Structure 1
């Protein structure tokens, strides 16, 4: 069972230690060794502005220009605190830590934004941004974690999703990880983030609207994501692996050179709704997927790991269905796909790979450690 300890940093930001099951709970020492830094007061939130042309909100966060950018290892802000580096994490050791971002795109103030915006509408960028440190080790990546530690991270995602869902004004909670300099990370230390938005993001809105239409057309008996999962399993050609509670596949109309969707077999709106058994398997299968991705080429593959959770919207949430979208712009060992005119300006993606071939390579690739059985092409589990 994961032990969770809450404390506060010198400027009032919340920090939570999540201890591995069976560990000696090193995170508790963080409460006994408080943050003694002389930090300035927290800044006021940035701004959100409404784009009337697309009916989308845009966050303006100029205060983030001064955030930490690729510091040397001995000055890493999410390594444990030492005599020479008073970091964001006061404890001399820890398992997994979640804390409020010092340079948030959204928040720290909470509130609601206008329901009926028009051109010229703006307001405070309400919300919350958190950092999730996967390990006290400065080097490595999520794929190198053991299953016990990966399970602790899953528990942290679920816990924070449940807590952030309850904050006033929050409309969507989004856990994600950017891995690799080619993606644009600003810290090498293995970590992810969680954004709690005061609005439904554009991508979630599009997915949510399609899911709701399908749900209504089916009389509330079927979900879009669940139907897609069944279709992919029946076809088999794009399946990567299948488990008792989760399956992974390359989607039929993948946008990115490497794109994998990991979907629970049971409809749940978010990570907080998973059972203990489902969380156990998720830790295993997620590690398996990341190892397969890294085994494709001689060097680690940059990626974005995005957890799509149902928005906190009365219309969209009933049809919502948790799933992971794992993508990489890597189209060859020495080539990356950059968003050119068609993608960046028009949102019309042109993929440089075929989903069936990518799935075949991911099924065949060898991974280190125990893996789930790969899917059998053309034969659903």
Structure 2
């Protein structure tokens, strides 16, 4: 456990370097009493007084073990069994801390957008080296796990939070990419699990960021494909007439012709970019618009808040030849009342059976 007594106090406000339109973006960096960092992002400097705080024991990560047949380094973190699970609305840990109310993760009465180090982190910069195992490869689970709270409101989505809040979110993502890369992370993955069908245990609108000490296997494959010359710009140009949903500011939203999930959608710059930090102001504004538009289309088409797995796929630390940034949505529905389960064949072989043709998905989502 880390305490305020053995860590330097931090509470400072700085302007974030960003090309996101809409005016300056400020970041307040604050070390909580339990030692974890909290970053508050907003259009105006955040100057509210600190409220009462949580001071719980904080785990410092788990361990990595390599799967000898799949080549994957998986995270083993037994302490995550005790993470917060579907709390009552009155005990929302992602809400602001109010006078007379319970201490939450945000020890302030209000905020625009917040990022903090996860209390139940599987990756941690102070992760200890695990004991040796004969015949097995192990490693410390170094890295970072962070939570991103989109809004102080208890309900909402990437659509309903509005364009300027999505711009703020993108600016926060870019800022965290830069900081996590500078801290030694090899790969950074901002993502969102939306809905109970994908295991979300908190309803407050939020996402997460994992900063990996090792580049994950799926991302290694993408890096290799781009390095060997795969041209995603050419694929987008071919796909957009029949598989496209929308374009904005040089960004395209489309159903990949090689989608693995029913109603899968990608957002990508039409010209190659390493990551969101590499995009122009117009592209970032278009990206913000399409994040809301795709979420709106899903909810309108299925007639309900759509459960999905969403993530940004960008280049690793140090860059990669020919890498092309994408943001990918994997919805967990094949119909409003039918979940797409990843069952035996998908799990054991990685071979997906896709129940809805990508051209059908594009036509359906394009009509809402």
- State the TM-score, normalized to the length of structure 2: 0.88
8 Å CA contact 1:17–1:28 kept in 2: the answer is: no
8 Å CA contact 1:245–1:281 kept in 2: the answer is: yes
CA displacement at 1:312 relative to structure 2? 2.3
Which residue in 2 is equivalent to 1:369?
none
Structure 1 residues 85 and 2, CA, compared in 2 at 3 Å: closer, same or farther? Answer: same
- State the TM-score, normalized to the length of structure 1: 0.85
CA displacement at 1:112 relative to structure 2? 10
1:225 pairs with 2:232: yes
Structure 1 residues 350 and 6, CA, compared in 2 at 3 Å: closer, same or farther? Answer: same
Between the aligned partners of 2:285 and 2:256, the Cα distance in structure 1 is 24
8 Å CA contact 2:248–2:283 kept in 1: the answer is: no
Following superposition of structure 1 onto structure 2, how do residues 290-369 of structure 1 map, counting pairs within 5 Å? Answer: 290-312=295-317, 317-365=320-368
CA displacement at 1:324 relative to structure 2? 0.7
Which residue in 2 is equivalent to 1:174?
189
Between the aligned partners of 2:142 and 2:330, the Cα distance in structure 1 is 28
SS in 2 for 1:189: coil
Following superposition of structure 1 onto structure 2, how do residues 102-113 of structure 1 map, counting pairs within 5 Å? Answer: 102-109=119-126
Which residue in 2 is equivalent to 1:372?
none
After superposition, the C-alpha distances for 1:3-52 in whole angstroms (9 at most, x for unaligned) are 11110111111101101x3x5x4x321xx315533333x32321001112
CA RMSD of aligned residues (A): 2.0
Between the aligned partners of 2:25 and 2:80, the Cα distance in structure 1 is 33
Unaligned runs of 5+ in 1: 215-222, 366-381
8 Å CA contact 1:139–1:190 kept in 2: the answer is: yes
Structure 1 residues 34 and 269, CA, compared in 2 at 3 Å: closer, same or farther? Answer: farther
After superposition, the C-alpha distances for 1:118-157 in whole angstroms (9 at most, x for unaligned) are 9512121100000000000112222211111111111111
Unaligned runs of 5+ in 2: 1-23
Structure 1 residues 118 and 265, CA, compared in 2 at 3 Å: closer, same or farther? Answer: farther
Which residue in 1 is equivalent to 2:3?
none
Which residue in 1 is equivalent to 2:283?
278
Between the aligned partners of 1:231 and 1:165, the Cα distance in structure 2 is 34
In the comparison of the two structures, how many residue pairs are matched? 342
1:86 pairs with 2:103: yes
After superposition, the C-alpha distances for 1:278-309 in whole angstroms (9 at most, x for unaligned) are 22221112111110111102211111111101
